[in-house]
């Protein structure tokens, strides 16, 4: 319903038929009334559920995101939490979360090349690192693990990039979990590279 406003030079405010009338800077404006689409389709509900999963991930990964996203978030005048959601919006799809497309780090450094993750002990994962121009990648490397079933993440400490390998020692509660692994390089001043999903591993079940 539109309202005839005598106090604004007799201009309309509201809806008439399929149009919306409003006033901006004293001038009458009109636009088409948008169509309301069904918000309860299966695909939309699944998409919202996947985005909710991302939001929960970001909340549970506060410590890890401070390493991979804090500096870039500061430069963009936002938070690491909101930057994570912005970077990964397309990873939340009707089929769920595409963990292989997730970004857990973002920055100006060049991404190194990584090999497949290898389990060298029950909870120890190693990934080889190759750099084309070491100065472009920084001087340290991180390896981050995420276990979707228990919604837990673990980030390795910084390791020398020159060693050619990144290692993460996972806590005991990761035993028996399916784990996604992400690597990124960095510099002690906080600059990092975009993260790379390096693979997926199933950790051995805990010993009886």
- State the CATH number of the domain containing residue 106: 2.60.40.10
* Its pTM surpasses 0.85: no
Structural domain harbouring 50:
42-202
pLDDT (tens digit, 9 = 90+) per residue, 177-198?
A: 999 999 999 999 999 999 999 9
Give domain status of residue 77, yes or no. Answer: yes
Q: Are residues 139 and 63 in the same domain?
A: yes
Q: Are residues 103 and 51 in the same domain?
A: yes
Q: Are residues 23 and 56 in the same domain?
A: no
Give domain status of residue 207, yes or no. Answer: no
Alpha-carbon Rg for the chain, nearest whole angstrom, is: 24
pLDDT (tens digit, 9 = 90+) per residue, 108-130?
A: 999 999 999 999 999 999 999 99
Q: Are residues 134 and 162 in the same domain?
A: yes
Q: Are residues 67 and 87 in the same domain?
A: yes
Give domain status of residue 61, yes or no. Answer: yes
Q: Are residues 55 and 123 in the same domain?
A: yes
Q: Are residues 28 and 126 in the same domain?
A: no
Q: Are residues 110 and 25 in the same domain?
A: no
Helix ranges restricted to H, 31-164: 42-60, 62-68, 70-75, 80-87, 134-137
Q: Are residues 73 and 140 in the same domain?
A: yes
Reported as a pLDDT band with limits 50, 70 and 90, residue 18 is confident
Most confident of 6-10, 46-50, 134-138: 134-138
The total number of structural domains in the chain stands at: 2
Nearest to 46 by CA among 99, 95, 100: 95
Q: Are residues 16 and 108 in the same domain?
A: no
Give domain status of residue 177, yes or no. Answer: yes
Give domain status of residue 101, yes or no. Answer: yes
Give domain status of residue 37, yes or no. Answer: no
Q: Are residues 147 and 127 in the same domain?
A: yes
Nearest to 49 by CA among 88, 80, 95: 95
Q: Are residues 12 and 72 in the same domain?
A: no
Give domain status of residue 20, yes or no. Answer: yes
pLDDT (tens digit, 9 = 90+) per residue, 26-82?
A: 778 787 766 555 555 444 544 456 678 888 888 888 888 989 999 999 999 999 999
Give domain status of residue 159, yes or no. Answer: yes
Is residue 123 classed exposed, middle or buried when 0-12, 13-18 and 19+ CB atoms within 10 A define those classes? buried
């Amino acid at each position: 319903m539109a309202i005839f406003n005598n106090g604004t030079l007799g201009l309309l405010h509201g809806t008439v038929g399929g149009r919306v009338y409003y006033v901006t800077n004293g001038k009458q404006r009109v636009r088409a009334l948008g169509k309301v689409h069904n918000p309860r389709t299966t695909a939309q509900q699944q998409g919202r559920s996947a985005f909710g999963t991302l939001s929960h991930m970001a909340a549970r990964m506060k410590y890890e995101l401070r390493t991979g996203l804090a500096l870039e978030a500061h430069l963009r005048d936002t938070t690491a939490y909101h930057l994570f959601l912005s970077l990964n919006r397309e990873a939340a799809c009707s089929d769920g979360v595409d963990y292989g497309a997730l970004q857990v780090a973002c920055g100006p450094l060049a991404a190194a090349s990584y090999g497949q993750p290898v389990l060298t002990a029950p909870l120890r994962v190693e990934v080889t690192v190759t750099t084309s121009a070491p100065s472009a990648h920084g001087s340290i490397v991180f390896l981050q693990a995420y276990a979707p079933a228990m919604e837990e993440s673990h980030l390795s400490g910084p390791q020398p990039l020159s060693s050619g390998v990144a290692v993460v020692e996972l806590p005991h509660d990761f035993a028996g979990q399916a784990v996604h692994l992400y690597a990124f390089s960095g510099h002690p001043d906080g600059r990092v590279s975009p993260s790379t999903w390096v693979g997926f591993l199933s950790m051995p079940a805990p010993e009886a």
